[in-house]
Chains A and B, each alone.
Chain A
């Protein structure tokens, strides 16, 4: 069943990210000039300023760096509180904000091995698949 989420940022480059998610792939922009992975999606590379990117596929493996739980309702009841959020270091070195799937903060410890899943969700722009993480 599809889950309601707060709105994504959409637009030419952003749509590509979600399109890949829809295909079950986590891909992020990689600067073709200097090779840096850039996240979140930016207009220009945050290392060399180049504006040309390819979409590099991430393995989907990562480890837990930090986490926090929203207790105050910042999203006007779109999401039932409290809920956990996680900061994952992808195998490729990038830090990625996400949410845990099938575990909670009580189970979390630094360095915990994680693996990508894509969850069926929708926002005001329609259906999409959200990258989330399960315990590896």
Chain B
């Protein structure tokens, strides 16, 4: 399944489905166990992780197994086919599909399937065993998830590859344009780490100081170790159901209110490095907000893909939460943390929380909108926004508390 199958953002689909069940594996515990390699410890398989996430989501939803009549699966780096996965999970769904791996398409796709009557309650399951298979991001053997080489594959003869290099080029340009130094970027890493430490299952749990940040090794200069996301194994399952069925369940439902999409068609590096994808953020954000019937000022909490510290800066400025060149000031002023104007990546994002291709951001968003996030709960939260932007595309999702 390709992300091209993203259903069109339309007002009629807004609020039609809600997330009523959430299950995640224990990223932090699993990461620490994989580092410790204690005797008798075995690396979990994608299948094992998926079952754990699904069983937790099912129990969380309070639905019966037989209520789940739809299943969408994504084993991003390999795993069973949908039919095998259904058997593994003890399901006999009338609607069975593969969903696009990263958290851009799966929930809109589930929404469309439910709206079309293909199923009423769908389990959407994602699992990766990234660290287990030693996946490296960049270099000569990089394979794009779609099987086709991404355009930057082309630059190998110049020694230029890797996602990190994109963000490094982008940051260098931004730094020059707005007069920012390295320590400025560190503010994002340090703040995100603080958020992770308020979430027991975040992978990273030790505080970092600006000295730690600046003293860490460069990966692709000007980006250092703490500018780039963690890599870990895990699985997540969301149970999505028709809004009218979501009301009497165990938890406050979290409604999918809007989504959007903007893909760079030409001159990708220029759009990213010099344009910071701003027109694309604007367009995708407009679609999602229009669909949800909301304005940007209604967004109270932001979970955004942070493959690097540069991504949240692009997103904050792209959507218009901050003027160009000022996202870091927002961070330094505490506006992106509890008590601030737009608490961001409250479970530690990908930088310090878990690298789940955006799925764990939505998991945190669900906890937040249920008002079940404990010490890191954003007060009086009603509307949250999620964003995932790769080098050449932008995907926002908007969620509301209740149906």
What CA separation (Å) do A74 and B164 show in the bound complex?
A: 11
Known contacts: A9-B153, A40-B151, A110-B176. The answer to whether A68 contacts B220 by CB under 8 A is yes
Instruction: Verify if B165 is at the interface (C-beta below 8 Å from A).
Output: yes
Known contacts: A74-B138, A79-B159. The answer to whether A66 contacts B172 by CB under 8 A is yes
Known contacts: A76-B140, A87-B269, A95-B269. The answer to whether A6 contacts B221 by CB under 8 A is no
Which B150-179 residues have a C-beta within 8 angstroms of A? 151-162, 164-165, 168-170, 172-173, 176-177
Instruction: Verify if A120 is at the interface (C-beta below 8 Å from B).
Output: no
A46 with B265: CB separation less than 8 A: yes
Residue of A nearest to B164 (CB): A72
From B220, B266, B273, give the contact of A70 (CB < 8 A): B220
B169 with A68: CB separation less than 8 A: yes
B220 with A65: CB separation less than 8 A: no
B172 with A95: CB separation less than 8 A: no
Residue of A nearest to B168 (CB): A68
What CA separation (Å) do A6 and B266 show in the bound complex?
A: 26
Of B136, B138, B158, most buried by chain A (CB within 10 Å of CB) is B158
Residue of A nearest to B228 (CB): A72
Known contacts: A7-B140, A68-B220, A130-B157. The answer to whether A85 contacts B165 by CB under 8 A is yes
What CA separation (Å) do A67 and B138 show in the bound complex?
A: 17
Instruction: Verify if A41 is at the interface (C-beta below 8 Å from B).
Output: yes
What CA separation (Å) do A95 and B157 show in the bound complex?
A: 16
Instruction: Verify if B270 is at the interface (C-beta below 8 Å from A).
Output: yes
Known contacts: A70-B165, A71-B220. The answer to whether A6 contacts B156 by CB under 8 A is yes
Instruction: Verify if A97 is at the interface (C-beta below 8 Å from B).
Output: yes
Known contacts: A87-B169, A130-B157. The answer to whether A97 contacts B269 by CB under 8 A is yes
Instruction: Verify if A47 is at the interface (C-beta below 8 Å from B).
Output: yes
Note all chain A residues with C-beta closer than 8 A to B162.
70, 74
Note all chain B residues with C-beta closer than 8 A to A69.
218, 220-221
From B157, B218, B221, give the contact of A5 (CB < 8 A): B157
What CA separation (Å) do A67 and B172 show in the bound complex?
A: 7
Which A26-62 residues have a C-beta within 8 angstroms of B? 36, 40-42, 46-47
What CA separation (Å) do A59 and B153 show in the bound complex?
A: 25
What CA separation (Å) do A19 and B262 show in the bound complex?
A: 36
Note all chain A residues with C-beta closer than 8 A to B169.
66-68, 87
Instruction: Verify if A92 is at the interface (C-beta below 8 Å from B).
Output: no
B220 with A72: CB separation less than 8 A: yes
Instruction: Verify if B33 is at the interface (C-beta below 8 Å from A).
Output: no
Note all chain B residues with C-beta closer than 8 A to A87.
169, 173, 269, 273
Residue of B nearest to A40 (CB): B154
What are 9 contact pairs spanning A and B, CB under 8 A?
A66-B273, A68-B168, A68-B220, A71-B220, A71-B221, A75-B156, A76-B139, A83-B159, A98-B158
Closest CB pairs A-B (n = 7): A68-B168, A46-B266, A74-B139, A40-B154, A69-B221, A66-B173, A71-B218
Residue positions of B touching A, CB distance < 8 A? 136, 138-140, 149, 151-162, 164-165, 168-170, 172-173, 176-177, 217-223, 265-267, 269-270, 273-274
